[in-house]
Amino acid sequence: MVSKRLLPLIPAGLVVDRVVTGPERVIVTTHPSATRAACPACGRSSSRTHSHYTRTLADLPHQGRPVAIHVRARRFRCTTVDCPRRVFAERLPLVAAPRARRSQRLGDIQRYIGLAVGGEPGSRLAHRLAMPVSGDTLLRLIRSARWEAPEALRVIGIDEWAWKRGQTYGTILCDLEKGRVLDLLPDREAGTVSAWLKRHPGVAVIARDRATVFARAIRDGAPRATQAADRWHLLHNLGDALRAAVGRHRGAVSAAGGIERSRPEQPGLHKVPVCHPGIDELRNERRQARAESYAAISKLQADGMPPRRIAREVGMSQRAVERWLAAGGEPEHRRPPVASLVDPFRPISTAAGARVAGTRGSYGGRSWPTATRAASRRSPAGRPRSGAPTRLAAPKPLRCRPPRPGRRGGGAHGCSGASATT
């Protein structure tokens, strides 16, 4: 037993009788400070004690150990004659809720942990903080929380979101004024969205995409709301319209590009590096194949064949055939030149590469493998053998792979910094 002063910060309305500390937890025995209690049925106050009982509550930890509060609570007799509850238990509104087994302040902390990290992760964290609780209890605390009624919604956004991309989709609703998510609906059906809008009257503006499902839901659930296209879909649709317009005038765009390429190069601009010859050859082959396909499509159209039959003849989709005919030519899959971060340094790297290539190609007038083989033909005493050159210039240190086992002199895989002499 220790002094009561070790735990002065107990919940309000309790008086400490005894504090017992153990290696695993701290037990605080208390009793209520009030002398009277109100009946929960009729509300009349009573001081007539019927009996006592002990109520155990978990509380905030102390010095890394869990705390248990034993409250010696009372049962009172109701003095109202016609009250249906003759005996009632004492309530502790500042300490814990009725029939609760943890204090309000401990329940609030555990609820915050559950909201932050979830059920099982929150349970592991709470055990480390000396506030043991199960993951299921954390979820129950979250569900039992009393949320404040949100303010009336004015401007919201509706769009679809993926539970599992490409398979299952739902509906997301956001408050565009506060920039927060309001709700996630399990599907994207008009009836579900309409029912949600009916539960939240007063919405003035709804931003949505061009899906007819959402338009029908808004007309049914919020007929007085103004419907507007959101910014992302406006830009997306504008891009689609621009690509379609440019595609219909591909010949004029190609002519304008030729005029631009014929202009003299401006100083400070770096050319895009030329691709590998194999890639250029493959691109030319595919470009020629598209040109032949368009020629066949044009001939069949001139013969009066409809696009559906043309698509079957050339092995393409009907939509692609219609798009090629509307554009007046086959598509040109050409990527525009894009500036790179390394473009300003290409002249430096090219010059350095040329110097390295020249160094590797001349070692005393010989290539590096020839020089190493000549150096390996010297005698054990260090004197040159007959027919061997008298001396070779020592090459500069090079970074290369280590020599293979059992191979003298390194050859093409020589060591860094080796010198060849005879």
Helix (H) or strand (E) holding 313: helix 307-314
Same domain, yes or no: 127 and 178: no
pLDDT in tens, 64-83: 899 999 999 999 999 888 89
Mean pLDDT of 115-121: 91
> What string of H, E and C letters represents the secondary structure of 270-289?
CCCCCCCHHHHHHHHHHHHH
pLDDT in tens, 30-40: 999 888 999 99
Same domain, yes or no: 34 and 65: yes
Mean pLDDT of 163-183: 88
pLDDT value of residue 110: 94
Same domain, yes or no: 175 and 227: yes
Same domain, yes or no: 9 and 85: yes
pLDDT value of residue 417: 46
Number of domains present in the structure of the chain: 4
Same domain, yes or no: 21 and 81: yes
Helix (H) or strand (E) holding 89: strand 87-89
Instruction: Tell me if 241 is assigned to some domain.
Output: no
How is residue 316 annotated by DSSP? -
Alpha helix locations (H) across 331-395? 346-360, 368-376
Measured CA to CA, the distance from residue 229 to residue 386 in angstroms comes to 90
**Looking at 296, 327, 358, which one is the last position of a domain?**
327
Instruction: Tell me if 282 is assigned to some domain.
Output: no
Of residues 252 and 42, more confidence is placed in 42
pLDDT in tens, 202-248: 899 999 888 889 999 999 999 999 999 888 888 888 888 888 777 77
Same domain, yes or no: 89 and 32: yes
Same domain, yes or no: 70 and 129: no
pLDDT value of residue 125: 94
Instruction: Tell me if 240 is assigned to some domain.
Output: no
Instruction: Tell me if 170 is assigned to some domain.
Output: yes
Range of the domain at 81: 4-101
Same domain, yes or no: 187 and 170: yes
Same domain, yes or no: 12 and 81: yes
Same domain, yes or no: 113 and 190: no
Q: What tokens were used for 89?
A: 């238990």
Measured CA to CA, the distance from residue 88 to residue 36 in angstroms comes to 12
Measured CA to CA, the distance from residue 11 to residue 103 in angstroms comes to 8
Instruction: Tell me if 44 is assigned to some domain.
Output: yes
Same domain, yes or no: 178 and 202: yes
Instruction: Tell me if 118 is assigned to some domain.
Output: yes
Whole-Å CA distances, 91 to 76, 95, 209: 11, 9, 54
Q: Which residues pair with 74 in a beta bridge?
A: 52
Residue 335 reports pLDDT greater than 80? no
Task: Kindly indicate the confidence band of residue 337, based on its pLDDT and cuts at 50, 70 and 90.
Answer: low
CA angle 292, 297, 298 (to 5 degrees): 95
Instruction: Tell me if 207 is assigned to some domain.
Output: yes
**DSSP string covering 100-122:** -SB-HHHHHHHHHHHHHH-HHHH
Contacts for 227 with CB less than 8 Å, ≥ 6 apart: 206, 208, 215, 218
pLDDT in tens, 349-382: 776 666 655 554 444 444 445 545 555 555 444 4
User: Which amino acid, 293?
Assistant: S
Measured CA to CA, the distance from residue 172 to residue 193 in angstroms comes to 10
CB 245 within 8 A of CB 264: no
Residues constituting the chain: 422
Same domain, yes or no: 42 and 120: no
pLDDT value of residue 165: 82
Instruction: Tell me if 237 is assigned to some domain.
Output: no
